[in-house]
Amino acid sequence: MSTARALIYGTLVVGILDAADALVFFGLRGAKPIRIFQSIASGLLGRSAFSGGLRTAVLGVALHFFIAFLIVSTFLVASRYIRILRRAPVWSGLIYGIAVYLVMNFVVLPLSAAGRGALSWPVVVNGVLIHMLGVGLPTSLFVRASNH
C-alpha cells in the first residue's frame, strides 16, 4: 500500500473508531451526538461551541479527523527513525495508543480552550482502551502496511 493511501485509510479508520466509541460510550450516558462533536470544537472555541448549533458540531468532526491525521502522521514519521515501531506493530501500536491518551489528556486538553474536566474510572478505562485498540493499533498496522 502506498504511504499516502496508508495515511488516508489510517486517518479514516482511527477517526471513525474513536468517534463511534465516543458516540456509544457517552451516548449511553445521555450525551447527544451534536454535543459530543461540539465538545471537540470547544477545544478551539471554548464554551461558545455549545451554542453554535450544527456549524460547531461540523467543525468538531473536522477537528476530530484532523487530529486523527496528526496521530497517524506522527507515527508514520517516527517509524522511519525507530524501526521497532514497524517490526512490532501490535506492541508498538498498543503503547502508542497509551501515549496518545496521555498526551491528549495531560497536555492537549489542559492547554485547549475546553480544558480537561474531572476523570472518572469508567471514562479513564474506556479512554485508555479505545486509544490502545482503536487509535494506536490501527495506526501501527496501517503504517506497517505502507511501503515507506
Tens-place pLDDT, residues 47-106: 999 999 999 999 999 999 999 999 999 999 999 999 999 999 999 999 999 999 999 999
Per-residue pLDDT band at 4 (split at 50, 70, 90): very high
Residue reference for cell 474513536: 18
Cβ neighbours, 10 Å, residue 102: 12
Taking the C-alpha atoms of residue 143 and residue 130, their distance in angstroms, rounded to an integer, is 18
Looking at residue 115, what is its pLDDT?
A: 81
